[in-house]
Amino acid sequence: MGNNPTGAIDPVGLCDAVIGGITQSSTQQETEAQTSFANSIGANLSFPYAGGGRFGGALDVIGQGVTVNDSTKAAYATIMNSAAQTPAGQNFNVFTFSGGAQAFNSALSLVPAEVSSRIGNIVYVSPGNVSTLASGNTSTTVIANPFGAIDNIANIGSTGNAALLWTDCSHKANCTFQQFGQLLKPKAGSPCSKPTTISRGHGSGGGGGGYGIGTVGMPWWYGAMMSFVGWVDSIGTGPTESVTHMIIY
């Protein structure tokens, strides 16, 4: 292994990605356990819905079923970053929470086949999605609360061939990642050489993401509705996410 770089293949993966859900940002107490898990495995972090509220975030998730919005782009940038830090021919893994499942799956449809074919393990924690979830090339795991109303609604469209793990945490990231963090580490690979946090930029869109980009081909009223939703979500919300990396398209 030491003098055999072509044969030194990590069987689990390299440079994983952890993708957050609606309302989440890296500065919130509600994401501490999730961020701690990402840091413990040296993964890239993505907050595709940073700066937004629940209502706008839910519409962001639904909107990704019909168009590419800023949430999709933030997840796409994180996937490509993980792929770039993973040598050709080796796998990396993805962990998502809540609406991060939809952001990841929408972004997955945009990445090259060479990248998607190298996603080994996928773990969906309380997935929030409107489409069927993709399976990992090595394994797929869904963690959810079978009796939680939010999780039951969010799991509509979940992949049918995944290993299911039940939790009593409802739809709370800190609780779930504290409960399953150690169990999930074997599904993680080696740390990224340069772990990166990517957040969605701010704008007037649904949840704060800026729908000026991503509404191409949509009717005029869709953009107007998203502007209104962004205004509603901005009422009473706390500090928004600071963008650690700007993504230029």
Residue 101 confidence (pLDDT): 93
Q: Taking all residues of the chain, what is their mean pLDDT, rounded to a whole number?
A: 77
Average pLDDT over residues 160-183: 88
> Does the pLDDT at position 124 exceed 90?
yes
Residue 15 confidence (pLDDT): 96
Which residue would you say has higher pLDDT here, 245 or 194?
194
Residue 216 confidence (pLDDT): 37
pLDDT bracket for residue 203 (50, 70, 90):
very low
Q: How far apart are the C-alpha atoms of 61 and 129, rounded to whole Å? A: 7
> Does the pLDDT at position 160 exceed 80?
no
Which residues in the chain belong to E strands, given as ranges?
A: 17-19, 44-47, 92-97, 119-125, 139-144, 163-166, 197-199
The answer to whether 171 and 124 are in contact (CB under 8 A) is no
Average pLDDT over residues 5-11: 41
Q: How many residues does the chain have?
A: 249
Average pLDDT over residues 93-117: 95
Q: Please report, rounded to a whole number, the percentage of residues in the chain having pLDDT higher than 90.
A: 49
Average pLDDT over residues 137-152: 76
- Angle at the Cα of 209 from the Cα atoms of 24 and 234, rounded to 5 degrees: 75
Q: Provide the 8-state DSSP code for 171.
A: T
The answer to whether 217 and 194 are in contact (CB under 8 A) is no
Q: How far apart are the C-alpha atoms of 180 and 211, rounded to whole Å? A: 35
Which residue would you say has higher pLDDT here, 109 or 147?
109
Reduced to 3 states, what is the DSSP secondary structure of residue 148?
A: coil
pLDDT bracket for residue 148 (50, 70, 90):
low
State pLDDT tens for residues 65-82.
Answer: 788 889 999 999 999 999
Q: How far apart are the C-alpha atoms of 148 and 67, rounded to whole Å? A: 29
Q: How far apart are the C-alpha atoms of 211 and 204, rounded to whole Å? A: 7
- Angle at the Cα of 173 from the Cα atoms of 169 and 179, rounded to 5 degrees: 55
Strand order in the sheet with 17-19: 163-166, 139-144, 119-125, 92-97, 17-19, 44-47, 197-199
Tell me the two tokens of residue 216.
């191409």
The answer to whether 68 and 110 are in contact (CB under 8 A) is yes
The answer to whether 99 and 128 are in contact (CB under 8 A) is yes
> Does the pLDDT at position 231 exceed 80?
no
Residue 93 confidence (pLDDT): 98
pLDDT bracket for residue 154 (50, 70, 90):
low
Q: How far apart are the C-alpha atoms of 142 and 161, rounded to whole Å? A: 10
Residue 81 confidence (pLDDT): 95
Domains, the chain, ranges and CATH? 17-234 (3.40.50.1820)
State pLDDT tens for residues 47-67.
Answer: 999 988 888 888 888 888 788
Q: Provide the 8-state DSSP code for 165.
A: E
